[in-house]
Structure 1
Amino acid sequence: MNLKHQSATIRRPRGHSRVLLASIAAAAALTGQLIVLAPAASADGPKPAGHQNVKPVDGGKHGHSEHDKGKKHGPPAVHGLRQFTSDNTFTPPPGVTSVFVQAWGAGGGGGGGGGSARNNGGGNPNNPNNQNPNASADGTVEADSAAARNNTGGHGGGGGGGGFTWCVIPVTPLTDYGVDVGTGGANGLGGAPGANGTAGTTGTTTSLTVASTNTVLLTATGGTGGGGGGAADRGPGDPGTPGLGGSGSCSSGGVNHSGDPGNADGTGGGTADGIVELPAGAAVGGDGGRGGGTNRAIGNSGSRGKDGGDGYVVIYW
């Protein structure tokens, strides 16, 4: 595949795993608390308790038997939802003893692009004057020189997408739980003419813990950073190695998905979908930087990559 890195359009891939088919529907606010309808789950996800269709019992109405008549029933359960884009504390309201949690780790940073050949000659030690053999007497490069057209630095590797976990967590009402949201990996720097780009860094882990004991209940690790693109040396530089996707785990099991690795074209890896639309750029790997081109006799530096997206957490009950 012939990649024209200096003119490529970076596109964000769509998340590979649609975990939920329907977005959560908003209802009314009651006594200052957000009320939402319970989301519909996919076949491989946890099923919300208390929302199954109930078959009426013979002789009774609305699923209640004669034995239930005359009994007082409490108010219907209140359902809430909280979203976290940065570190915070979650405290379950009274009466809530379990919650659904969806968590994403941060994306890895994209690697920097490699520099083009120095003086369009590749910096080859066997070329003492470090000059392009196709250059004219005044140091410029012939327009039809195949070597000049191909002495482009390799693009940086795209960072890996953050891991994902979705599970039910038993909780104690009015107890504090720490929500740590992962930070996206930093981008790699572009290489100077004749030098390789640097690698992006790994995104950090998103987690939910019991605040009083620091007991970890779930984690979604970050994607790794993409490798730096190679410098050109009498030919195009090698592309950077794509970053790997993060993973998810939960103390109660649940559904776990790995993030996508970076793509061959240098774009960052995607991540799983959830019950609500992710904020723009959340949990995805950063794009790798473009390699330096060959439109100057002194060569060009590669461009830096993009930072990975920060993690994200949704808790609902």
Structure 2
Amino acid sequence: MNLNHQTATIQRPRGRSRVLLASIAAAAALTGQLIALAPAASADGPKPAGHQNAKPVDGKHTLSEHDKHKKHAPLALHGLRQFTSDNTFTPPPGVTSVFVQAWGAGGGGGGGGGSARNNNNGGGNPNNPNAGAEGSADADGAAARTNTGGHGGGGGGGGFTWCVIPVTPLTDYGVDVGTGGANGLGGAPGANGTAGTAGTTTSLTVASTNTVLLTATGGTGGGGGGAADRGPGEPGTPGLGGSGSCSSGGVNHAGDPGNDDGTGGGTADGIVELPAGAAFGGDGGRGGGTNRAIGNSGSRGKDGGDGYVVIYW
């Protein structure tokens, strides 16, 4: 993959497996909006408790003791809320457990290394015994060759957790959404790029006690690309993916690490499509190019994507 030019569109790999096979129709068109739909669950994740309805006996509709009690209990409509920033979730009356899917934030991509002039391969200079036939001469007859700086490492994708959480109706729960890691800066000519920073953790807590119910940690930042010296600069080290954990178990997946080509790591899919870039690691910056004998600066990386939370019941 050519990483020498400044503007390029990087296609992310899309071979990740689905965590859920089911989706919600037109799921949550607006953040924070309640939707009166019941989400379906796939075979490998948590499932809602079954509701057994009393069957008619001898053609007569007979209510069980459970159904008689339900007649006096608050009606709990199905709903869904999405969170792209810190907020509070309060379960409606009658809701005693919720499904939660949470993603940590992606790590920032590292900056590309700067390119630098290299005089070791100069042709056309009779005073240089190491001159090579492939070299080129500048106006002063001195050999000049510019190597490309290494690209920055891609940030790691945010971790993921999916589980069922017991809740108390009309009680506040804190939703803290992770912030994507900052990008690393490109290196000046002859200098290394700087590393991106890690994305922060997404969590759900009991607001009154700060009891943590689940976490999805952020991916780490990609390393800065190496400066070119007597050869092309080394690429930055890819960031690592975050992790997920839940107090009630559930399904937990690590985020993908950054890729060898400098693109950021991806993360698990959920019941709704993630907002563009959410939880993904940032791409690493390009290394400084070869179009100037004095060398070029590397480009800065991309910020990691913020975390994301979906709560449904």
Residues 120 and 296 in structure 1, CA contact (< 8 A), matched pair in contact too: no
More displaced stretch, 47-56 vs 205-214: 47-56
Query: Percent identity, aligned pairs only?
Result: 92
TM superposition shift of 1:36: 3.1
1:202 & 1:124 partners in 2: Cα distance?
48
1:229 is matched with 225
Residues 148 and 287 in structure 2, CA contact (< 8 A), matched pair in contact too: yes
More displaced stretch, 29-38 vs 270-279: 29-38
More displaced stretch, 30-39 vs 16-25: 30-39
* Residue 38 to residue 136, structure 1, CA distance change in 2 (3 Å): same
Residues 122 and 151 in structure 1, CA contact (< 8 A), matched pair in contact too: no
Cα distance per residue 1:95-116 (max 9 Å; x no partner)? 1111100000000000000000
Cα distance per residue 1:38-72 (max 9 Å; x no partner)? 222122110122368999889x6899779979995
TM superposition shift of 1:185: 0.2
Q: Structure 1 length normalisation: TM-score?
A: 0.82
Cα distance per residue 1:147-190 (max 9 Å; x no partner)? 97771000000000000000000111111111000000000000
* Residue 52 to residue 244, structure 1, CA distance change in 2 (3 Å): farther
1:214 is matched with 210
* Residue 62 to residue 26, structure 1, CA distance change in 2 (3 Å): farther
* Residue 212 to residue 306, structure 1, CA distance change in 2 (3 Å): same
Residues 107 and 224 in structure 1, CA contact (< 8 A), matched pair in contact too: yes
* Residue 235 to residue 56, structure 1, CA distance change in 2 (3 Å): farther
TM superposition shift of 1:20: 1.1
* Residue 308 to residue 138, structure 1, CA distance change in 2 (3 Å): same
* Residue 94 to residue 72, structure 1, CA distance change in 2 (3 Å): closer
1:164-179 pair list within 5 angstroms: 164-179=160-175
* Residue 76 to residue 213, structure 1, CA distance change in 2 (3 Å): closer
Q: Structure 2: which 5+ runs fail to align? A: none
Extract structure 1 runs of 4+ deviating beyond 4 A: 1-8, 26-33, 51-58, 60-76, 119-128, 134-150
Query: SS of the residue aligned with 1:122?
Result: coil
TM superposition shift of 1:77: 3.7
* Residue 245 to residue 292, structure 1, CA distance change in 2 (3 Å): same
Residues 57 and 64 in structure 1, CA contact (< 8 A), matched pair in contact too: no
Query: SS of the residue aligned with 2:175?
Result: strand
TM superposition shift of 1:122: 16
More displaced stretch, 161-170 vs 29-38: 29-38
TM superposition shift of 1:35: 3.6
* Residue 138 to residue 32, structure 1, CA distance change in 2 (3 Å): closer
1:280 & 1:232 partners in 2: Cα distance?
34
1:62 & 1:281 partners in 2: Cα distance?
53
1:310 & 1:201 partners in 2: Cα distance?
13
More displaced stretch, 138-147 vs 94-103: 138-147
TM superposition shift of 1:302: 0.4
* Residue 52 to residue 314, structure 1, CA distance change in 2 (3 Å): farther
2:136 is matched with 140
Residues 107 and 185 in structure 1, CA contact (< 8 A), matched pair in contact too: yes
1:234 & 1:180 partners in 2: Cα distance?
47
Q: Structure 1: which 5+ runs fail to align? A: 129-133
Query: SS of the residue aligned with 2:6?
Result: helix
Residues 120 and 151 in structure 1, CA contact (< 8 A), matched pair in contact too: no
- Name the Cα RMSD after superposition: 5.0
2:7 & 2:66 partners in 1: Cα distance?
74
1:30 is matched with 30
TM superposition shift of 1:23: 1.6
Residues 100 and 167 in structure 1, CA contact (< 8 A), matched pair in contact too: yes
TM superposition shift of 1:234: 1.5
1:49 & 1:224 partners in 2: Cα distance?
37
* Residue 26 to residue 135, structure 1, CA distance change in 2 (3 Å): same
* Residue 185 to residue 74, structure 1, CA distance change in 2 (3 Å): same
TM superposition shift of 1:221: 0.1
More displaced stretch, 10-19 vs 253-262: 10-19
Residues 123 and 194 in structure 1, CA contact (< 8 A), matched pair in contact too: no
Q: Structure 2 length normalisation: TM-score?
A: 0.83
Corresponding residue pairs, total = 311
1:123 & 1:227 partners in 2: Cα distance?
38
* Residue 19 to residue 140, structure 1, CA distance change in 2 (3 Å): same
Residues 156 and 220 in structure 2, CA contact (< 8 A), matched pair in contact too: yes
